[in-house]
Chain A
């Protein structure tokens, strides 16, 4: 199990280490150390990655010294313990990345089974009860254990301190605690939804979930409850960090938009999650003690559950999409080599979305017995969310105009995001119309709308962000050709999967149904075919990103020639991010299209070799 010298400190090491740890073999720690003959406290003595020894120009010696002094965060201990007890935000981000990837594939397997089941009108692959459990697994795991933590807990954790020039988050220990809560809650819920199964759907509507469902609702909800604390801890940490830890000169309107969106997301996490927590507590009490807060037979009102649930869950979809918008706002200016069009409006629109997002939850209950006056109010408010969202889309598009666009992998994802998010957003407006919703409610139209925002928007943005910051995170470049191929595969697979579902929903196919009339079969087969392409698209990055950890080119500090403090430090960054606290003197996204026009021409000969320019 010995690791070649050159791969020490690469993410490859991380994977072997954490992989072992997740297997529950923490006791292997000492063994690993012995096998490697590497005591825990010696990474500083690691020989620097110096060039050929014969002719060493002065710069190279200096570089070697620098490399030794600011050894990367990946070199800060190689043991399982040094990862599992690390309070370094970058290491915790990696831990999150591994965990949510695992959850993503669990949720993905459930989705695969759903799609396979729906190939024929009569189903036949799984039992009806199993089918209910499958869509519940898919919903619960994807929403709480992938979508919500994906961008904030992985990229937000990694990048927030780097982007604001801080050494770490304000509360590093709480950050680590929040990962443990997440894993603990996640294991709890996974055990419940896979072991016993839950058949309520991810929404867990009472009183079905509290009184009638004969499945593991209690355990699944307990896991979600615990994970809620992890979300809250992360949110508090991000808010405090953004307020108190910014580098000198980094005023609010000089912050990268990713920081703005992470801040707005953290606000939603802090303000919405507790309401879910109390709702789940009430569900516990109903199930265990037989009280009837949501049970009509006992004088309760089921709509109260829905109000409380959607007060959390509607803003929660903004927890999922807002950081994705932040990523796109970073990628678009960088690959269009142009200043972001109207930075200020995008920043304010972020808060507009976060704020208005809290006022619209009643649109989930138009046909559930909500008062029609309240429905009217919620419908109008829902239309208002479109305004800040549209502002963002227009600003991204305007940024592209006359830019010097390069279609690298992150840019492909970002462009995909803009298109798919627009479709998802506009169909959301259809659903927010009172009359239209009566016929579309609980059909595949809703499913398609939601997945256009979440998969077409958020997952696209997440993958774009992973590719964009992969050199920073791992210190290696990913293979560009494979990256582009995977991005295109995902786009094609996605559209093929979910576009037919709009039609299905419009024709009246209800969601969560096991059987369907034969005339829907063609569209369902199309959708399943798309899902299989999508599946291939998701597995591709898993392989080539892992491959790049060993064989990818070494990444320079600023491979994209991008602005932003995170590109000023080494790739991967040293443990405390910066050697000296950076001082910020200008706003973000100072890209010059004319300059990059030149860069582009010169780099056409050697693709991807824009690395020579040091960070600004």
Chain B
């Protein structure tokens, strides 16, 4: 019996080696770049330094961008929760066509996100659809400038990642047993109290899983601020791209990249400590 298992076990090696060589090794290489001061030359001893990381916190310019990226990603997450909660609730508790609607909701996710970003450029530009609409409604007298600002980046990110919040939220709401809510109401809780004490608390797993799926990609976004943003909305991703395609300081660029990676891995580990990684797989299954 165990012969089969041990033969099966050998099947992991092609994939595992690929993963080690082309995924983990490159990550190790940028980690080395991040803690050294020069480029890697075979045979030369490594000189370790933390100055690359120190620069991020010493130069005000970089610190501002780091904090701004965190702020924009945080706001994206908050808005995506607010926007998607009623929808997820409706789909899980009030709709009979929820399975179909979830599939429909995932369609834009499969359309290239540059195309969707482009759509927002059309909507937000000075003589774009939104301005025309507002002028027609007589809400404004002259076109407002929204494009190339932090607001337009935020609008783009919220649009892009809110469906990612709906999915896990819907899955967690679906699992809640309605009789729990009914029991709390029988015991005298108001509808609002029952919602916050039962439904909302039990949906927290979904909110946290969604936060991973929204916050991390938002923090690492680079195309959306590059297309929709201006000088006041440069994010970590744009700094990193700049370091590699123009400035050419690999050590500093790597330090920024490692900071981004560590931040996201820390979030994932923190999440798996509390809820277990299985809940991520399970939530993804429902998609």
- Is the pairing of A and B real? no
> Residues on B close to A: CB < 8 A?
none
